[in-house]
Structure 1
């Protein structure tokens, strides 16, 4: 029996593409919202430069020009919707501007839409890298109160001797 609504977190990565494929293969839903979370360029620049407050640098476009990060998010999201439709899902587009973290944006939209399940790809980090850099998918799993389908990355074939 299909669920009413699934949310697919899509960032354009190979792992996200794989998650869309698996959602179409193993899940049925009346609707599938493909979500791409994004952060404005001014906030990214401030965060990367270590500034405590968000200061708009001189090189940033004014309010009448679309933020490059938003334009990129829309393009990525369109690709995700196209892939979801190819996977047999009744897909629709959604983007969210993150004010804190990407995972928080995903959880907030899932709560707002009252989705039945969240689908996300994982980076597949192991060892110390996994300890130092938890993934967005891991944070979604830890902080949401809904079922989550985490799709691990595909294995790279070993080279033949």
Structure 2
């Protein structure tokens, strides 16, 4: 039985789907859930920074990340899930690595997350956080694909 469930969240349909599935899972398992949102603060420091206020952009990333976590946490709590959350900041690293590191450090029994299911050129250009997590995960991963109509 999984007692410590790690759920990386963002503001996407796939993340919402993973949250909904996690709620179903948590109701059966009665474990502790940790929501994380990873932001890359270095993305605005590479080129073009002379035209923008980097500190303001980074602050905006933090604010948006907290809003994503607050919204997801409220949804989980409204369904009786025991939840904590954390905003994780990286500097130019890979989001998947940050998720796996948090899974080790917390420590998680399982990671539950959504996957866009991109293939071909989209996958090449956009990559896949879920794929990166799967390659180096310290724990089992439960992936939920986006429900497309």
* Common topology (TM > 0.5): yes
Q: Of the candidates 112, 117, 128, which is equivalent to residue 124 of structure 1?
A: 117
Asked if the contact 1:25/1:87 (under 8 Å) is kept, the reply is: no
Q: Deviations over 1:79-135 (max 9, x none)?
A: 111122234421111110023111111111111111000011111212343344331
Runs of at least 4 residues off by over 4 Å: none
Deviation of residue 39 (structure 1)? 1.7
Higher helix proportion (structure 1 or 2): 2
In structure 2, relative to structure 1, the CA distance for the partners of 1:62 and 1:127 (3 Å cut) is closer
Q: Which residue in 2 is equivalent to 1:135?
A: 128
Length-normalised TM-score, structure 1: 0.79
What's the RMSD between the two structures over aligned residues? 2.4
Q: Is the 8 A contact 2:44 2:54 kept in 1?
A: no
Deviations 1:36-83 (A, max 9, x none): 11122xx21234x3x8xxxx64742659xx711111111111111112
How far the C-alpha of 1:138 sits from its partner, in A, is 1.1
Any stretches of 5+ residues in structure 2 without a counterpart? none
Contact 1:12 1:80 in 2 (8 A): no
Show the 5 A alignment for 1:38-53.
Answer: 38-40=39-41, 43-47=42-46, 49=47
TM value normalised by structure 2: 0.85
